[in-house]
Amino acid sequence: MEKLAKALGKNIRAQRKEKGFSQDALALVCGVDRSYMGRIERGEVNITVEKLYRLASTLACEPASLLPSLSSLD
């Protein structure tokens, strides 16, 4: 699980930076606690699919685009 959470967090962080959001701003818009947002990006938590969609719609990208491929986690 750890590799997945870390890879997903990295993708979310990269997409956030590309869209010019601060971590606090993304947390605010998504209705997520600021410290939890940091834990998501560091890969410390296993988020739900619903939260993945909230993040993706805020970051204006497809949720699928944030997901690491299965083979990348081998």
Q: Which amino acid is at 11?
A: N
From 16-24, 25-33, 59-67, span contacting a copy of itself (CB under 8 A): 59-67
From 17-25, 30-38, 40-48, span contacting a copy of itself (CB under 8 A): 40-48
Rg value, the chain, Cα:
11
Closest distance to a copy of itself from the beta carbon of 60 (Å): 9
Distance CA 8, CA 3 (A): 9
* Angle made by CA atoms 64, 67, 70, in degrees to the nearest 5: 115
The footprint of a copy of itself (CB under 8 A) covers 1, 4-5, 8, 46-50, 52-53, 56-57, 62-65, 67, 69-70, 73
